[in-house]
Amino acid sequence: MSNPTVDAFLKAKAFRELVSGTLAELKQAQTPASLASVIDNRVAAWETADPDFATVLRDLKGAAYSMTLPHVRAVAFRLCEHLQVNLDRIDAESRKRA
């Protein structure tokens, strides 16, 4: 028999790890190829966690090779900002529960 509190914690922990891992990889993406590689590494996990964000990532991968380097960096930066907001929200919610 599973404990709902433990299950919720494990789900939140897994999502936090997905967000923080994606964030760390995106910070390193400086070229279209590296951005596409990050997306390839993470999109399957995002399909389960947030299908809408996975769609954004797939669309971005399709456009990555037509982007200039400054545009790749700007897009990666904006995605990092978005993910950081989610990470901050997760951390705030976990502190409320503690």
The kind and range of the H/E element at 47 are helix 32-49
DSSP state of 31: S
The kind and range of the H/E element at 79 are helix 69-97
> How does pLDDT run across 34-85, given as a tens digit for each residue?
999 999 999 999 999 999 999 999 999 989 899 888 988 888 899 889 889 9
- State whether residue 75 is helix, strand or coil: helix
- State whether residue 20 is helix, strand or coil: helix
pLDDT at residue 58 in the model:
93
Instruction: Supply φ then ψ for residue 67, to 5 degrees.
Output: -90, 150
pLDDT at residue 86 in the model:
84
* Domains in the chain, number: 1
Instruction: Supply φ then ψ for residue 66, to 5 degrees.
Output: -95, 0
> How does pLDDT run across 1-42, given as a tens digit for each residue?
678 878 878 888 898 899 999 999 988 888 899 999 999 999
pLDDT at residue 1 in the model:
63
Specify the pTM.
0.83
pLDDT at residue 98 in the model:
61
